Structure 1
């Protein structure tokens, strides 16, 4: 079962979602609930969480502020927005911070089922039936060294160079990185490249093809395709998001 946290300041809605939707039938277990954004972050940080179903308008911290914190901390928690508001700028904010879906209130059974079935498929690919994954160790010096290397050399970062840096075999480094961080080395490099590209695009002084080259893509079309895969929008569209 994947771990789900539900955050909504309206008790009736939150209680209904927690207790009356058959989460276990589609592979999820509700492990916590919150009435505001701050509580949601506290629940997520206190225990392993795979998905957050989060209302946009909540006291203390809004849903937007919550997913921004999750995004900035490179968390692997998937987020789904729940809101009665249909203004497009909320959807834009959601896209910018990697939200997986946007469900309007009143929630429909079919909408929830479709959204979370897709997320389960993504999680299944990320966690291929491994019930004995090692815990992520943030003081782990080897992982820190590899990540620092990628963060500095994102344009040309390679598994072979990372392996040389920590005096290990590339195949072993690949396996070790996956066990410790729950993601592939190539996935981490891709994430860093895209985040750096987003920063360059927001500076507005670089053309798209220049940003493409700055993060290691010699073909601007391939860069645009990769950027859209990561953010859900093209580089040009991303620049318009505020």
Structure 2
């Protein structure tokens, strides 16, 4: 039961998968300030921790093996597919890669990367034009890039939850909220009334249902999330 065989110890896959997702996110986020790099570094640490357990060492399975085996004795918990804990615990015996949790994971991760890409395009356009970014995702939420990171992490948690990533997730969400508030304080000091009007009509992370999109076109100098 403790022989993980070829299911784990695949550190090359840990490196490749971590690098692919980190570089892919980096190509959209494009950190510029120390604050940007801190937020991206935290996201990268989450990705590495995730794939280290997915292909390297199944720490969560080892820690919970006694409890898992006693409640679901018919499952080989050290087989790789068993790492999809929600699928296994719910009793679905189909290929977990096509189960509902995995499909939900694809939806959340895909939506996160889409939001990250689209948000960067609108922010970059606004920066070039010297105006407040208030189109596209920025018309609905003030921090779409941070929201995108949260969506991606939530998607991976649905697919492959681990003790470490479950512990990291609320800490990282709290960190992104703190970073957003700090950036907004800088933006308020720099842009004054234009920012106040924008912030009064557009929520920070969760879009309002049926809320009219922001139409602000005030000329300002933007940087990253907080100056949008």
**TM-score over 0.5 (shorter chain):** no
The one of the two structures with greater contact order (alpha-carbon pairs below 8 A, sep at least 6) is 2
Q: Which protein is richer in helix relative to its size?
A: 2
Q: Which protein is richer in strand relative to its size?
A: 1
